[in-house]
Structure 1
Amino acid sequence: MEFLKTYVLRRNACTAVCFWRSKVVQKPSVRRISTTSPRSTIMPAWVIDKYGKNEVLRFTQNMMIPIIHYPNEVIVKVHAASVNPIDVNMRSGYGAKALNMKRDPLHMKIKGEEFPLTLGRDVSGVVMECGLDVKYFKPGDEVSHKPKSLTHTQAASLPYVALTAWSAINKVGGLNDKNCAGKRVLILGASGGVGTFAIQVMKAWDAHVTAVCSQDASGLVRKLGADDVIDYKSGSVEEQLKSLKPFDFILDNVGGSTETWAPDFLKKWSGATYVTLVTPFLLNMDRLGIADGMLQSGFTIGSKALKHFWKGVHYRWAFFMASGPYLDDIAELVDAGKIRPVIEQTFPFSKVPEAFLKVERGHARGKTVINVV
């Protein structure tokens, strides 16, 4: 989701990391070729010209409409987009070194060349043009291909948080619909976008879910299927957890001090796993550079994993992973009625800065969505 009216999407583009089902995996070439002639008209967009606080967001009506540069790209007319906490952090420069390298891996953009920069992870819309190598989509397809039961506003709320949770639970945690029944799962930070999705997918796989959130969000998480709810504002979460049985899996959306005590509530020597989504990976690269940052991150995860291994549990980091097949699986669960979007608030395209401020304040109860069309 970039905050603009149209959008170039290709499988290997870092600014297009979330989309409904893409099988466009052919190796890009340097040809500029598409199903229609290139366009050169302009469109409105929200961009930043430097990193900083919310005032750096700037509205322009003179952004050029993208054209097809590679035969595996599609151009999407954006109908809705959502705002994630990482978008707010990136507005302030978080992850700039690593993401700039991914945007231009051959030439490694120098500081400042990324501007004007559009921000965002999620998008739902309609395909306008396709590169000639694109076989899975055609103009007019709803991106890409979104669950049939959802509106564009609902669909735009899911991809980034869904794939982040799916990465942590399935790819890193090893849980799936075949082995999850009866497993005891603890979700820290359960009322946000990732947490609300994680509750639903774990319940769809018949796990027993304990959700940690504030009391005013308890009704929401129970409605999503949480079996037990712990209010972190009513006293020590550690003390409250002591009255419960140990867990097979912990998903940590909070980070900080939680990782010093949360793994202690896992079943020992049973393959139980603690997975955190709050890692220093991009911060290390921002601070130390790409090579040293990756080296420091590798040392940190290795030492922590080894320490917890000797305690009888697994310690892991998880990150968002773009995956068309995973989105297909998620879309099936959505259309089967087992997962529903949780949207806290929607904003018109003219109020993107207000949406950023809403997310920046935290204490989310689901997602914040921008209606572009």
Structure 2
Amino acid sequence: MLAWQIHSYGGNDQLTLSATNRIPMIKNPNDILVEVHAASVNPIDIRMRDGYGQKILNVMRNQGLINTRSEFPLTMGRDFSGIVVESGRNVKKFKPGDEVYGVLGAQRQGSHAEYTISSEREMAHKPNHLSHVEAASIPYVALTNWSAINTAGRLTANNTTGKRILVIAGSGGIGTFAIQLLKAWGGEIVTTCSGDASEQLLQLGADYTIDYKQQDVLTELNKLPRFDFILDPLGGDKGEQYSQFLKSWQNAKYVSIAPPFLKNFDNYGILPGLVKNIGDLGCSALKGAKDGKIIRWAVFAPSKQGLKTTTDLLNSRQIHPVVEKVFEFEDLPSAYEKIESGHSRGKTVIKMK
């Protein structure tokens, strides 16, 4: 099969389209072989190409938690849409010919290939009204949001109505999905974006936008009522600045989905990195606790419930895919370049079929 792979970490010059890879075989009775028709490109693919997370992933390989002991060649790609080719003997929900979409855990080779191996908990039946390109744009950002909003933020369809929510960088893949999910649950949403993205985000469900190019974001936020929940896809030093706009003493939460976990492991090694992570998380928690606020980190994780909720909202037309650009499979390096340049307006997808 064809697969885009790297044989060492670095820039786009490391990407190689290989035609000699074998179609992966089902080795676990819970696994499912999928013919990939489309896959999205996410910022995590760029970071993994550069070597992000390599140390902890190598520990997982040495412990047998990853299905190959070899670090290279490495195929990127975390989500997909396609057709089931073969199912393991324990699989009950999916059969050959089913149209599916889903995500791949970090232990698996990626989806920027003609075939990939997934499992029942990592995928769902593709909504009939969506094309494979549209469906492929959803799973990774959906479950990253689920981890931040539901798992870390404790927001649900039953408790979000009327809550004031700030979504940082609303025009990207994470933001466009978060706005729709939180609006479907009844939230009142403020978001930051460039002025040319404002109309689109208002149509998706944002109630108010702040143009970070023409306005001082912190000044504008200071004019508004405080927030019950802040979602920050960017993280970094500005996180503490944003957390000041949470309501005090009301269980308000700031959640960053750009935590330094893997970066600390890469920079300091496994044990020192673990100590650094514990220290960083403790400092963040203490800073929030003094004002009655909760500061948390979240990362992507496969979730059967999260994917089911997403599928239900897609089927009821409460969430719509936001695809900015589609590239042919052979032009995948250009898709990586686009993501690397930043300023996305939704998702970038590669089309295989």
Q: Give TM-score scaled by structure 2 length.
A: 0.90
Q: How far off is 1:130 after superposition?
A: 1.0
Query: What does 1:176-325 align with in structure 2 at a 5 Å threshold?
Result: 176-325=156-305
Please name the residue that 2:341 is paired with. 361
Please name the residue that 2:317 is paired with. 337
Query: What does 1:62-141 align with in structure 2 at a 5 Å threshold?
Result: 62-103=20-61, 105-106=63-64, 113-141=70-98
Provide the rounded CA distance (Å) in 2 between the counterparts of 1:277 and 1:162: 13
Contact in 2 for aligned 1:100/1:109 (Cα 8 Å): no
Percent sequence identity over aligned pairs = 49
Provide the rounded CA distance (Å) in 2 between the counterparts of 1:81 and 1:107: 24
Residue type of the alignment partner of 2:252: A
Across the aligned residues of Structure 1 and Structure 2, the Cα RMSD in angstroms comes to 1.6
The Cα offsets for residues 2-49 of structure 1, whole Å up to 9 and x where unpaired, read as: xxxxxxxxxxxxxxxxxxxxxxxxxxxxxxxxxxxxxxxxx1111111
Provide the rounded CA distance (Å) in 1 between the counterparts of 2:131 and 2:188: 30
Provide the rounded CA distance (Å) in 1 between the counterparts of 2:62 and 2:36: 24
Q: How far off is 1:109 after superposition?
A: 10
Partner of 1:59, secondary structure, is strand
Residue type of the alignment partner of 2:336: F
Structure 1 pair 122/187, CA: closer, same or farther in 2 (3 Å)?
Answer: same
Q: How far off is 1:217 after superposition?
A: 1.1
Partner of 1:180, secondary structure, is coil
Structure 1 pair 315/206, CA: closer, same or farther in 2 (3 Å)?
Answer: same
Provide the rounded CA distance (Å) in 1 between the counterparts of 2:126 and 2:59: 30
Partner of 1:63, secondary structure, is coil
Q: How far off is 1:116 after superposition?
A: 1.0
Contact in 2 for aligned 1:273/1:316 (Cα 8 Å): yes
The Cα offsets for residues 200-241 of structure 1, whole Å up to 9 and x where unpaired, read as: 001001110001011111111111010000011113211011
Worse-superposed segment, 298-307 or 195-204:
298-307
Structure 1 pair 336/368, CA: closer, same or farther in 2 (3 Å)?
Answer: same
Contact in 1 for aligned 2:142/2:306 (Cα 8 Å): no
Contact in 1 for aligned 2:34/2:84 (Cα 8 Å): yes
Provide the rounded CA distance (Å) in 2 between the counterparts of 1:227 and 1:109: 45
Q: Give TM-score scaled by structure 1 length.
A: 0.86
Structure 1 pair 174/136, CA: closer, same or farther in 2 (3 Å)?
Answer: same
Residue type of the alignment partner of 2:16: R
The Cα offsets for residues 76-108 of structure 1, whole Å up to 9 and x where unpaired, read as: 000000000010111010111122333553388
Provide the rounded CA distance (Å) in 2 between the counterparts of 1:108 and 1:265: 41
Contact in 2 for aligned 1:101/1:109 (Cα 8 Å): no
Query: What does 1:7-26 align with in structure 2 at a 5 Å threshold?
Result: none
Provide the rounded CA distance (Å) in 2 between the counterparts of 1:293 and 1:354: 34
Contact in 1 for aligned 2:228/2:246 (Cα 8 Å): yes
Contact in 2 for aligned 1:149/1:334 (Cα 8 Å): no
Worse-superposed segment, 356-365 or 318-327:
318-327
Please name the residue that 2:117 is paired with. none
Contact in 2 for aligned 1:101/1:108 (Cα 8 Å): no
2:59 maps to 1:59: no
| Structure 1 runs, 4 residues or longer, greater than 6 Å off | 107-110
- Unmatched 5+ stretches in structure 1: 1-42
The Cα offsets for residues 265-296 of structure 1, whole Å up to 9 and x where unpaired, read as: 11100111000111110001111222321221
Q: How far off is 1:257 after superposition?
A: 2.8
Worse-superposed segment, 101-110 or 241-250:
101-110
Contact in 2 for aligned 1:147/1:331 (Cα 8 Å): yes
Contact in 1 for aligned 2:179/2:205 (Cα 8 Å): yes
